Amino acid sequence: MLTAKQQQLLAYIKTHLEQGGVSPSFEEMKEALDLKSKSGIHRLISALEERGFIRRLPNRARALEIMKLPDGMEAAQSRGASVTPLRKPSPPQASLPIAANDVVEIPLHGRIAAGLPIEAMEGQTMLPVPAALLGSGDHYALEVSGDSMIEAGILDGDFALIQRAETAREGQIVVALIDENEATLKYYRRDGARVRLDPANGAYEPQVYEPGQVRIQGRLAGLLRRYH
Protein backbone atom coordinates (compact mmCIF):
# COMPACT_ATOMS: atom_id res chain seq x y z
CA MET A 1 0.00 0.00 0.00
CA LEU A 2 1.36 3.40 -0.99
CA THR A 3 1.42 6.50 1.17
CA ALA A 4 -0.52 9.55 0.00
CA LYS A 5 2.68 11.29 -1.19
CA GLN A 6 3.90 8.19 -3.03
CA GLN A 7 0.56 7.90 -4.82
CA GLN A 8 0.58 11.62 -5.66
CA LEU A 9 4.05 11.35 -7.15
CA LEU A 10 3.17 8.24 -9.15
CA ALA A 11 0.08 9.99 -10.56
CA TYR A 12 2.12 13.08 -11.45
CA ILE A 13 4.82 11.05 -13.23
CA LYS A 14 2.16 9.15 -15.19
CA THR A 15 0.39 12.35 -16.27
CA HIS A 16 3.69 14.00 -17.25
CA LEU A 17 4.72 11.00 -19.36
CA GLU A 18 1.35 10.85 -21.08
CA GLN A 19 1.38 14.55 -21.93
CA GLY A 20 4.97 14.97 -23.03
CA GLY A 21 6.66 11.61 -23.23
CA VAL A 22 9.45 12.77 -20.90
CA SER A 23 9.82 12.13 -17.18
CA PRO A 24 9.49 15.21 -14.97
CA SER A 25 12.61 16.69 -13.41
CA PHE A 26 13.25 16.48 -9.69
CA GLU A 27 12.53 20.22 -9.46
CA GLU A 28 9.17 19.78 -11.21
CA MET A 29 8.25 16.89 -8.93
CA LYS A 30 9.29 18.86 -5.85
CA GLU A 31 7.07 21.78 -6.87
CA ALA A 32 4.15 19.53 -7.83
CA LEU A 33 4.13 17.85 -4.41
CA ASP A 34 4.95 21.11 -2.59
CA LEU A 35 8.03 19.64 -0.90
CA LYS A 36 10.90 21.72 0.45
CA SER A 37 13.79 19.66 -0.93
CA LYS A 38 14.57 17.30 -3.78
CA SER A 39 15.95 14.75 -1.31
CA GLY A 40 12.34 14.03 -0.34
CA ILE A 41 11.56 13.28 -3.99
CA HIS A 42 14.55 10.95 -4.17
CA ARG A 43 13.24 8.99 -1.18
CA LEU A 44 9.75 8.75 -2.71
CA ILE A 45 11.14 7.54 -6.05
CA SER A 46 13.31 4.96 -4.28
CA ALA A 47 10.28 3.69 -2.37
CA LEU A 48 8.21 3.42 -5.57
CA GLU A 49 11.07 1.63 -7.31
CA GLU A 50 11.53 -0.84 -4.45
CA ARG A 51 7.80 -1.64 -4.56
CA GLY A 52 7.91 -2.25 -8.30
CA PHE A 53 5.68 0.65 -9.40
CA ILE A 54 8.40 2.40 -11.43
CA ARG A 55 11.85 1.67 -12.74
CA ARG A 56 14.74 3.88 -13.78
CA LEU A 57 16.01 3.32 -17.28
CA PRO A 58 19.79 2.76 -17.27
CA ASN A 59 22.23 5.54 -18.17
CA ARG A 60 19.51 8.19 -18.25
CA ALA A 61 19.10 10.35 -15.16
CA ARG A 62 15.63 11.57 -16.16
CA ALA A 63 14.07 8.40 -17.51
CA LEU A 64 11.36 6.74 -15.43
CA GLU A 65 8.98 4.02 -16.59
CA ILE A 66 5.65 3.20 -14.94
CA MET A 67 5.56 -0.55 -14.29
CA LYS A 68 2.16 -0.81 -12.58
CA LEU A 69 -0.47 1.25 -10.76
CA PRO A 70 -2.19 0.61 -7.44
CA ASP A 71 -5.72 -0.78 -7.79
CA GLY A 72 -7.40 2.39 -6.56
CA MET A 73 -5.57 4.54 -9.08
CA GLU A 74 -6.39 2.21 -11.98
CA ALA A 75 -10.08 2.21 -11.05
CA ALA A 76 -10.22 5.99 -10.75
CA GLN A 77 -8.52 6.55 -14.08
CA SER A 78 -10.76 4.03 -15.85
CA ARG A 79 -13.73 6.20 -14.77
CA GLY A 80 -11.98 9.34 -15.96
CA ALA A 81 -11.53 10.64 -12.42
CA SER A 82 -8.41 12.31 -11.09
CA VAL A 83 -6.59 10.54 -8.27
CA THR A 84 -5.24 13.45 -6.27
CA PRO A 85 -5.24 17.14 -7.20
CA LEU A 86 -1.76 18.22 -8.29
CA ARG A 87 -0.31 21.19 -10.03
CA LYS A 88 -0.56 20.85 -13.78
CA PRO A 89 2.74 19.65 -15.24
CA SER A 90 4.60 22.32 -17.14
CA PRO A 91 4.68 21.80 -20.91
CA PRO A 92 7.78 19.93 -22.07
CA GLN A 93 10.36 21.94 -23.97
CA ALA A 94 11.94 20.42 -27.04
CA SER A 95 15.36 21.73 -26.06
CA LEU A 96 15.31 20.05 -22.62
CA PRO A 97 17.76 17.11 -22.55
CA ILE A 98 16.48 13.80 -21.22
CA ALA A 99 19.72 13.16 -19.31
CA ALA A 100 19.17 16.06 -16.93
CA ASN A 101 21.44 17.31 -14.15
CA ASP A 102 19.02 16.63 -11.30
CA VAL A 103 20.69 16.98 -7.93
CA VAL A 104 19.57 15.61 -4.56
CA GLU A 105 20.97 16.28 -1.11
CA ILE A 106 22.11 13.43 1.14
CA PRO A 107 23.50 13.61 4.69
CA LEU A 108 27.27 14.09 5.00
CA HIS A 109 28.34 12.29 8.16
CA GLY A 110 31.90 13.59 8.56
CA ARG A 111 35.15 11.81 7.74
CA ILE A 112 35.98 8.10 7.53
CA ALA A 113 39.40 6.51 7.36
CA ALA A 114 40.55 4.59 4.36
CA GLY A 115 43.55 3.70 6.52
CA LEU A 116 43.15 2.99 10.24
CA PRO A 117 39.59 3.03 11.61
CA ILE A 118 38.28 6.36 12.87
CA GLU A 119 34.89 7.45 14.15
CA ALA A 120 32.50 7.85 11.20
CA MET A 121 29.46 9.77 12.36
CA GLU A 122 30.86 13.13 13.51
CA GLY A 123 27.87 15.33 12.72
CA GLN A 124 25.65 16.07 9.77
CA THR A 125 25.44 18.53 6.92
CA MET A 126 23.91 17.97 3.49
CA LEU A 127 25.90 17.19 0.33
CA PRO A 128 24.44 17.88 -3.15
CA VAL A 129 24.87 14.77 -5.33
CA PRO A 130 23.86 14.10 -8.97
CA ALA A 131 20.83 11.82 -8.82
CA ALA A 132 22.31 9.64 -11.57
CA LEU A 133 25.00 8.43 -9.13
CA LEU A 134 22.45 6.99 -6.71
CA GLY A 135 20.34 3.92 -7.16
CA SER A 136 17.44 2.77 -5.03
CA GLY A 137 17.53 2.87 -1.25
CA ASP A 138 18.70 5.37 1.36
CA HIS A 139 22.13 6.98 1.01
CA TYR A 140 24.60 9.10 2.95
CA ALA A 141 28.09 10.43 2.27
CA LEU A 142 31.42 10.27 4.09
CA GLU A 143 34.60 12.21 3.34
CA VAL A 144 37.52 9.82 2.89
CA SER A 145 40.62 10.33 5.03
CA GLY A 146 43.72 8.29 4.24
CA ASP A 147 45.25 6.40 1.35
CA SER A 148 44.68 2.71 2.02
CA MET A 149 42.08 2.40 -0.79
CA ILE A 150 44.02 4.20 -3.53
CA GLU A 151 44.37 1.05 -5.66
CA ALA A 152 40.56 0.96 -5.79
CA GLY A 153 40.57 4.56 -7.04
CA ILE A 154 39.46 6.02 -3.68
CA LEU A 155 41.63 8.97 -2.73
CA ASP A 156 42.05 11.14 0.34
CA GLY A 157 39.42 13.89 0.23
CA ASP A 158 36.95 11.97 -1.97
CA PHE A 159 33.33 11.76 -0.91
CA ALA A 160 32.20 8.13 -0.61
CA LEU A 161 28.50 7.74 -1.42
CA ILE A 162 27.15 4.95 0.75
CA GLN A 163 23.93 2.96 0.37
CA ARG A 164 22.64 2.07 3.82
CA ALA A 165 22.83 -1.70 4.36
CA GLU A 166 23.48 -4.19 7.14
CA THR A 167 24.85 -6.98 4.96
CA ALA A 168 27.45 -7.29 2.22
CA ARG A 169 28.72 -9.83 -0.29
CA GLU A 170 32.27 -11.08 -0.47
CA GLY A 171 34.52 -8.48 -2.09
CA GLN A 172 32.21 -5.46 -1.73
CA ILE A 173 33.58 -2.18 -0.36
CA VAL A 174 31.75 -1.40 2.86
CA VAL A 175 31.58 0.94 5.81
CA ALA A 176 32.33 -1.35 8.74
CA LEU A 177 31.79 -0.26 12.34
CA ILE A 178 34.38 -1.83 14.65
CA ASP A 179 33.44 -2.54 18.27
CA GLU A 180 30.55 -0.03 17.99
CA ASN A 181 33.14 2.75 18.13
CA GLU A 182 35.26 3.19 15.01
CA ALA A 183 34.42 2.89 11.32
CA THR A 184 36.52 2.16 8.28
CA LEU A 185 36.08 1.84 4.50
CA LYS A 186 37.44 -1.50 3.28
CA TYR A 187 36.83 -4.58 1.14
CA TYR A 188 34.63 -7.05 3.04
CA ARG A 189 35.80 -10.66 3.09
CA ARG A 190 35.36 -13.78 5.21
CA ASP A 191 38.40 -15.45 6.75
CA GLY A 192 37.06 -18.73 8.07
CA ALA A 193 34.70 -17.84 10.90
CA ARG A 194 36.14 -14.33 11.16
CA VAL A 195 35.73 -11.12 9.17
CA ARG A 196 38.65 -9.67 7.23
CA LEU A 197 38.68 -6.05 6.09
CA ASP A 198 41.15 -5.66 3.24
CA PRO A 199 42.81 -2.40 2.14
CA ALA A 200 43.60 -1.58 -1.48
CA ASN A 201 47.17 -0.49 -0.81
CA GLY A 202 50.11 -2.86 -0.42
CA ALA A 203 51.51 -0.71 2.40
CA TYR A 204 48.63 -1.70 4.70
CA GLU A 205 47.81 -5.02 6.35
CA PRO A 206 44.33 -6.60 6.38
CA GLN A 207 42.34 -6.19 9.58
CA VAL A 208 40.82 -9.40 11.02
CA TYR A 209 38.02 -9.39 13.59
CA GLU A 210 35.58 -11.70 15.27
CA PRO A 211 32.09 -11.47 13.67
CA GLY A 212 30.62 -9.82 16.76
CA GLN A 213 33.13 -6.98 16.50
CA VAL A 214 32.05 -5.85 13.03
CA ARG A 215 28.75 -4.30 11.98
CA ILE A 216 28.11 -3.32 8.35
CA GLN A 217 26.72 0.21 8.03
CA GLY A 218 26.56 0.49 4.26
CA ARG A 219 28.00 -0.40 0.86
CA LEU A 220 29.91 1.89 -1.49
CA ALA A 221 27.60 3.18 -4.25
CA GLY A 222 29.77 5.86 -5.86
CA LEU A 223 32.37 8.59 -5.43
CA LEU A 224 32.52 12.35 -5.76
CA ARG A 225 35.87 14.11 -6.21
CA ARG A 226 36.78 17.76 -5.88
CA TYR A 227 39.48 19.21 -8.13
CA HIS A 228 41.31 22.27 -6.86
Catalytic residues: 148, 186
Cα–Cα dist 10/78, whole Å: 16
Q: Are 13 and 28 in contact (CB under 8 A)?
A: no
DSSP string, 56-78: EPTT-TT-EEE----HHHHHHHH
Neighbours of 180 (CB within 10 A): 8
Instruction: Convert 200-221 to b/e letters by CB count within 10 Å (16 or more is b).
Output: bbeebeebeeeeebbebbbbbb
Cα–Cα dist 48/59, whole Å: 19
| Bridge pairing between strands 214-224 and 173-178 | antiparallel
DSSP string, 138-153: -EEEEEEESSTTGGGT
